[in-house]
Each structure stands twice: as C-alpha cells, then as structure tokens.
Amino acid sequence: MTHSTSTSATSSAGSAPYVPEVGKCDDQDFAAAGPGRRRSPLRRVRDWLSAVVFTVPALVLFGMLVLVPMGYAIYVSFFNWGGFGSPSDSVGLNNYTRLFKDPVFLGDLGRGALLIGFSILVQLPFALAMAVLLNQKLRGRAVYRMLFFAPYILSEVITGVLFSMIFAPGEGLADKVLDKLGLGGLGGDWFAGQHSVLPTLFIVMTWKYFGFHMMLYLAGLQGIPAELQEAARIDGAGTWQRFWHITLPLLAPTLRISAFLSVVYSIQLFDLVWVITTGGPDHASETMAISMVQYGFKRYQMGYASALSVVMFLISLVFALAYQRFVLRRDTEGAITTMRGKR
Amino acid sequence: MRPFGTTSNFSRRGFLAASAATGLGAAGLSACGSSDDSGSGKKTIEWWNITTTQPAKKLWAQRAKEFEAAHPDVKIKVVTLENEAYKSKMTAQIASGKLPDIFHTWGGGVLKQQLDAGLVEDLTDRVSSWTGNYVPASMAAYKFDDKLYAVPFDIGAVGFWYNKALFKKAGITAPPTTWSGYLDAIRALKKAGVTPIALAGKEKWPGMYYWAYLSMRVAGLDAMQKASDDADFTGDDFVKAGQHLKDLVALQPFQKGFLGGAYSDPNGEAALMGNGKAAMELMGQWAPIVEADSGKGIGKDLGFFSFPAVEGGKGALTEVFGGGGGHALRKGAPQEALDFLKFFAEKEFAEKLIKQTGLIPVSKDTADALTDPNLTAVSEMLNKSTGFQLYLDQAYAPAVGQEINDSVAALIAGSKSPEQVTRSVTQVAKSEKS
C-alpha cells in the first residue's frame, strides 16, 4: 500500500541511502514491534529500492496497456458515443441504468449463471472421473490422456466450425448417427432452437475443456503419496472411502483452481459462441461479451458497449477477489511475497 | 426511398441540424480536403471507397494509377474501408465538416444529411453531358429537388429467386403477383413436399428483407420516408406488415433449423437453393453467384420474380427495394476530382467492371456488356421500376438498421409480436435522433 510514496521517494533519491519518510515509518514500526526482530533501516531501503527497480518497467507497461485503456473505457461509458472522433455527448449514468433495464443484458447474466452452474456441476465432476480413471494402471492410458487433451489444443474457431457442421439440423453427423441408431427423435434443432442451443453449446464446451481440467487433476493426483492410499487400504478402507477421504481432500487445491478457471472462462465466453451462433437464435445463446461486440461494433454505440464492458469487468473482479479471499486463501498462504515476510 | 424526382426532407440526427446551424458546414469548407502537396507540387485527391473485394479492388486501384499517368500533376490517395467502419467514420466526418474529395455514397438519408450540412457538390449540370443515358432507378437515390449529387457506378435490387422445376412440381404455373397468391404458392409447395423458402436466420438481414418489402407494399414509400423522418414506426401499416410476415411464418415455409441457418455456408440459404433443396429465396442480385459458389447452382431452372403486391396496400408491384453505389464530391472539390469521376465512368472501364465484377449497368450505353440472364432479369426490373427504396441499413443509422434486423429476427422466431417490433424500432430510432 505504500508503493506510491516509496516509488516517488526512491526514484527521486536515486542512490541516496536514506529516505526520510520510509525511515520515519520504520521508527514507528520499530517501536511497536520491539527491538531485536527488525532489520536495519538501511537494509530495508535497499529492499525497497530493488523492488522498485524491478517492478517499475513492468508497472509502466501494465499501466499503458491495461490501466489506461481500462480507464478510457470507464470514461467513455459515461458518453453517448459512436466510436469516431472524441466523445462529447455526456449522458451521466444513463448507459448504466439502461443496461439494467435491457432484457438482452439481463438475459446474458442469467445465461452466464446457467453456464457456470453447468460447468461446476457437470463438466468438472466428469473431468475428475476421467482423471481418476486414467490414474489407474490401464493399458494405453497415455493414448487416452492425449486423446482427451487434444480438443483443448484446437482453436475455438475450428471447434466452432466443426461442431456447426456436426450439429447441422437434419444434415449433420449428429442427426445422421441418431437416425441410424433409430433415435432420430432425439435429434433436431441443436444450435437452431431457442431452447436447445445452450445445452448443445454446453456439450461443445465440455468436449473442448474437460481434457484440460482432467490434466490438472492428473497432475494433482500424482502429488498424492501412494503411501497414504496404501495405508488406508491396509486399514480396510474401500475404493469409495479412499476416494472420498483421501483423494478428494488432497486434491482440493487443484479443484479450487480449476473451478476458478472454469468460472472465469464462462463469464468471458465469446469465440465459440460467436463462430457458431453469433448469440442467436433471438439472443438465446448471447453472452455478455457477445452483447458488448454487438452494441459496440454492429450498432456503433461505443458508450453503451463500454458500460457493458465495465460491468463485465466488475463482475469478474469481484468474483476473483472474493474467490481469492474466501476460497483460495489457504492455498496461496505463503505463496504471496511480502516485503516484511508477513502481511 | 422515394418516387423518382420528388423531394425528400430527411434529417434524422440532431447533431446535423446543430452542425448546420452553427455554420460548421460552412466552416468545414475552408478546413477540409484536397490540399496541394506543397513539397512535390502535386495535387492530392482523396478517394474513399468501400470496395474491399477482389478483383474489383485491384481494378479500382489500377484505374487510379491510370488517371495519375494521364495527369502527372495529380496524386490520387485511395482509402478503402470496410462497410460499417466507413459508415461510422463518415458520420464523424460530417460532424466535423471534413469530407474527402471523392467519397462512396449509397444515397438516400445519409447523403441528404451531408447535403443539408452544405458538404456536397451539386453535380447536376457538371455531369449531364455524360450521364444522359443513365437508368433513372440508378440515380434515384442521389437526386434531391431534381438535382443530382452523386454519379452511380452500380445498382442492384432484391427479389425472389426461385427454382422453376420445383414450382412446376407443385403445380404453380406462373410466379405469384399478390400476397394471397404467394401464400397459396407456399401451401402448394409444402403439399408437394418441397421446402418453400430457404432463410439464413442466423444472419438476420435476409429476414429483414421480408419485413422491408411488406412495409413498402402495405405502407408505401412515402410512409416509410415519413416514419424515418419522425422516428416513428408505430403506424398501423407497419404493424400490418409485421402481421403479414407472421402469417407467412405460421405456414412454416422455411427449412429445418432455419433459425441457426447461415447464408453462404455449405448448409446455408444459398447452398439450399443452389442444390435444389428449397424453392425460393428473397435475395439481391448477387444470389445466383453465391448459390453456385456454396452449392452446385441450378442453372436454367433459376428464375426471378418481384416481391408480390399486398391487396389493399399503398405500394405497387413495380416499386423496388435495393441499392447500389455512387461517388459524390465534397463541396469545393477540385476540378480534377470531377475529371476522375468521368474517367472512372468511361465506357471501356465500366464494361470491364460489368464483365469482371458482376455489376449491373447503370447506363444504357453499357447495357450490352451484361450477358448474364439472371442479372439481366434484375436489370429489367430496375429499368421498369416506378419507385425505389434504399436498403434500410444504408438508409438508417447503424443502430436503427440493427434493431430492425434484431426485432424482425425475433418476430420470425416467434418471440416478438408485430406491435413489439414497431415499438422497439421506434424506441431506438428516437434515441438515435435525440
């Protein structure tokens, strides 16, 4: 939190050994913490100095490429602006009030929640099951691992084109196969139906991403000592009990990270949907990112689209912070470097 | 947008009135444009166009080079922009009063705005010596108060492309000319086990054509003009037009899964037509090429008919929905810019464009260059037309055009009523105007 003062102090002081502000601050700390446990002021200034030297280039880049555009988007979101020239028609919070009355945006939120729910409740457990299965001694398991992971390497665009052909109503592979199996009734509209588009999309998302999560879990499973499993077996624990009481708790850090990645991906979902449906039919598969592009680059309402992007950013940010604070806390404990060795 | 030769008052957006009132337009004259390139002593003519596809792009650039070769003291700066980017960029240019010397225009409302802001050169007398043989429909979009403000190089229109063999199979002897006859034809096709209409529901704009044509037929061209002037599409006739479209949708005339259908994909609208799997599509003059591209093409079985008239409607069968392209000059553009327009329109080059890039002739002089029977059918419909409505997304602001696409797509999907469509469009039109 004292980054800003330290930056200005040290950058102006150059190689000067003492910086009064930091020193003063340190005195107080010193008194509070008691003697003997603190490092010398000189040493601490040197710590600050090296921290600044190493972080400033990164901070400048980060500022130019991330913070400035973000700030500009926030600024633009208060204007009625077509995207060219400089914004001049200030409308205050209008874009935001309009946003929360926009049925398309509210629908986006609902669909986003649905996809997150699907991912956590179906996709991740499926990935876990496959990981546990492929962690057994199994003939050709390397091949299976590779096969299941392969979709993740495909680009989203290729995946999209591929599946729009597979799920082409009546003509596509999916319908043909179902017909041959005598299950023609199960086929149908796929991406073309307002009610079938989200489930179909979810099938594609799962196909593409379960392999990635499976790999994460496999890595996690490798880290569980075989001795624990063995000890439990000797104590008479069944397969299910061992999974439930040993594998799962020890895999928890990996599970928490993979759930996090899955949620963030769902919030920002764009490419796949854009290629397959562009958000249709009639907004039934539209996500926040799709709406943002529709308003920004189809209707040229850049102010409104920026407001949408700001809200999308806030949702991601709040989620990420809350997740870090409440869920990932014990996993990251000690992994975050602080100047004083403790927070 | 209007019957030929009549006036239109079209000022959609507030800022225009404001910019005209504050004299921005006049100020723009001195501020903008073709500067003498003082360094080399060459005069630079800026030419903005939207020709992003080959081989047209190459031919156009060549033409500019040829002009430079003939006029060593002139340099032509060619700026090629994508459609939507061009529209928005021009909107900003109007506000600032700086237009390029030569710029692409679709005519209609946007050109009128630029004109009202005092930014466009009157070409009536300056080009009359070489545009005498131009087809009236090709110039309709660029004429206000009997004055011409742009020279067209392309013209096209939308109508029904149909499969004669499938119509025959369903026992339909002649293409329908009335809406009730059209609905009967749909029923007959369905009975014969043929998919009557191919529609790219995913793309939205092909569905919009139905609503636009029905609005033209029911409400009439004048009412469409007035609706956009007043930003009010809630009139009864627009609701009726939506109702007619709903009647059509109720017959389930489209292919399976049309809501997710693309236009030019291997399973899209054009491919269905091109492979003889659907009996018709409502599409512009480019349809036969795309059909043959995405599917096999149906050759001589392909026919063309105008959108039928609606009984009791205010529009006529001979009024055409379409658009083309033209070049306008900014007010005060140098003589060389005009010279280039003439150079560009020269018969030999115009015929080259017709033959190589599939343009429909705008002048009777070059009519012979058109040999394709499909394009000839469109060309004939245009030659005989009594009124012209410019494509809605070109006539209106991007947001309004998109809202019409969106709302009509929702109507076709069954989630919006005809009334809701008119209300949504009006709401966006009003917000764009304020």
Q: Is A277 in contact with B202 (Cβ distance < 8 A)?
A: yes
pLDDT of residue B296: 87
Nearest CA in chain A to B396: A299
pLDDT tens digit string along B303-359? 999 999 999 999 999 999 998 899 999 998 999 999 999 999 988 898 988 888 878
Give mean pLDDT, residues A310-326: 92
pLDDT at A19 over 60: no
pLDDT of residue B433: 72
Integer Cα distance of A217 and A124 in angstroms: 10
A and B: number of Cβ contacts within 8 A: 84
Q: Which tokens hold the place of A91?
A: 């409308």
The C-alpha of A192 sits at a distance from chain B's nearest C-alpha, in angstroms, of 4
pLDDT at B21 over 50: no
Q: What domains are there in chain B, each with its CATH number?
A: 14-157+324-370 (3.40.190.10), 159-319+392-433 (3.40.190.10)
**B contact test, residue of A80, A163, A171 with most B CBs within 10 A:** A171
pLDDT tens digit string along A26-46? 444 444 444 455 668 888 899
Q: Write the residue in A84, A169, A190 that is nearest to B92 by C-beta.
A: A84
Partner A contacted by B419 (CB < 8 A): no
Return the CA Rg of chain B. 22
Partner A contacted by B75 (CB < 8 A): no
**B contact test, residue of A176, A189, A300, A302 with most B CBs within 10 A:** A300
Q: Where are the alpha helices (H) located in chain A, listed in sequence order? A: 3-13, 20-33, 41-62, 68-76, 94-99, 103-118, 124-134, 141-153, 156-166, 173-180, 197-222, 226-234, 239-242, 248-268, 271-276, 288-293, 302-326, 329-332
Q: Is B259 in contact with A193 (Cβ distance < 8 A)?
A: yes
Lowest model confidence (mean pLDDT) among A21-35, A77-91, B30-44, B77-91: A21-35
pLDDT of residue A323: 92
pLDDT at B241 over 60: yes
pLDDT at A83 over 80: no
pLDDT bracket for residue A340 (50, 70, 90) = low
Q: Which residues 156-195 in chain A show a CB within 8 A of chain B? A: 164-165, 168-172, 188-194
pLDDT of residue B40: 57
How is residue B310 annotated by DSSP? P
Integer Cα distance of A25 and A27 in angstroms: 5
Integer Cα distance of B268 and B260 in angstroms: 9
Question: In percent, how much of chain A has pLDDT > 70?
Answer: 83
Q: Write the residue in A192, A294, A297 that is nearest to B261 by C-beta.
A: A192
Task: Tell how far CA A184 is from the center of its chain.
Answer: 38
**B contact test, residue of A165, A282, A295, A302 with most B CBs within 10 A:** A282
Which string of DSSP letters, residue by residue, matches A191-241?
GGSTTTHHHHHHHHHHHHHHHHHHHHHHHHHHTS-HHHHHHHHHTT--HHH
pLDDT bracket for residue A338 (50, 70, 90) = low
Give mean pLDDT, residues B25-40: 42
- Interface confidence, given as ipTM, is 0.73
Lowest model confidence (mean pLDDT) among A95-99, A216-220, B112-116, B265-269: B112-116
pLDDT bracket for residue B295 (50, 70, 90) = confident
Partner A contacted by B98 (CB < 8 A): no
Q: What domains are there in chain A, each with its CATH number?
A: 3-76 (no CATH), 103-332 (1.10.3720.10)
**B contact test, residue of A178, A190, A299 with most B CBs within 10 A:** A299
Q: Phi and psi of A133, rounded to 5°?
A: -60, -45
- Which residues on A lie below 8 Å from B95 (Cβ)? 85
Q: Is A194 in contact with B266 (Cβ distance < 8 A)?
A: no
Q: Phi and psi of B304, rounded to 5°?
A: -140, 135
Q: Is B257 in contact with A82 (Cβ distance < 8 A)?
A: no
pLDDT of residue A334: 61
Integer Cα distance of B47 and A218 in angstroms: 60
pLDDT at B17 over 60: no
Give mean pLDDT, residues B193-212: 94
Give mean pLDDT, residues B80-107: 83
pLDDT at B159 over 50: yes
pLDDT at A178 over 90: no
Q: Is A294 in contact with B402 (Cβ distance < 8 A)?
A: yes
Q: Is A192 in contact with B260 (Cβ distance < 8 A)?
A: yes
pLDDT bracket for residue A85 (50, 70, 90) = low
pLDDT bracket for residue B292 (50, 70, 90) = confident
Mean pLDDT of chain B: 85
Determine the length of chain A. 343
Q: Is B398 in contact with A300 (Cβ distance < 8 A)?
A: yes
Spell A141-162 as b/e; 16+ CB within 10 A means b.
Answer: eeeebeebeebbeeebeebbeb
Look up the pTM and report it. 0.78
pLDDT of residue B14: 37
State the maximum Cα–Cα separation within chain A, in Å, rounded to a whole number: 83
- Which residues on A lie below 8 Å from B91 (Cβ)? 82, 84
Give mean pLDDT, residues B17-43: 45
Q: Is B267 in contact with A277 (Cβ distance < 8 A)?
A: no
Q: Is B256 in contact with A169 (Cβ distance < 8 A)?
A: yes
Integer Cα distance of B105 and B50 in angstroms: 9
Q: Which residues 47-106 in chain A show a CB within 8 A of chain B? A: 82-85
Q: Is B257 in contact with A189 (Cβ distance < 8 A)?
A: yes
Question: In percent, how much of chain B has pLDDT > 70?
Answer: 90
Q: Of A277, A316, A286, A275, whose CA–CA distance to A102 is shortest?
A: A286
pLDDT of residue A335: 58
Q: Is A192 in contact with B409 (Cβ distance < 8 A)?
A: no
Task: Tell how far CA B151 is from the center of its chain.
Answer: 15
pLDDT tens digit string along A237-279? 888 899 999 999 999 999 999 999 999 999 989 999 999 998 8
Please report where in the chains the tokens 């055009």 appear, as a residue.
B401
- Which residues on A lie below 8 Å from B201 (Cβ)? 192, 280-281
Nearest CA in chain A to B402: A299
Query: ω into residue A281 within 30 of 0, thus cis?
Result: yes
pLDDT tens digit string along B360-370? 988 888 888 88
**B contact test, residue of A81, A84, A105 with most B CBs within 10 A:** A84
pLDDT tens digit string along B398-432? 788 889 999 999 999 999 999 999 999 999 998 87
pLDDT bracket for residue A339 (50, 70, 90) = low
Question: In percent, how much of chain A has pLDDT > 90?
Answer: 52
The C-alpha of A203 sits at a distance from chain B's nearest C-alpha, in angstroms, of 17
pLDDT at A218 over 90: yes
pLDDT of residue B54: 79
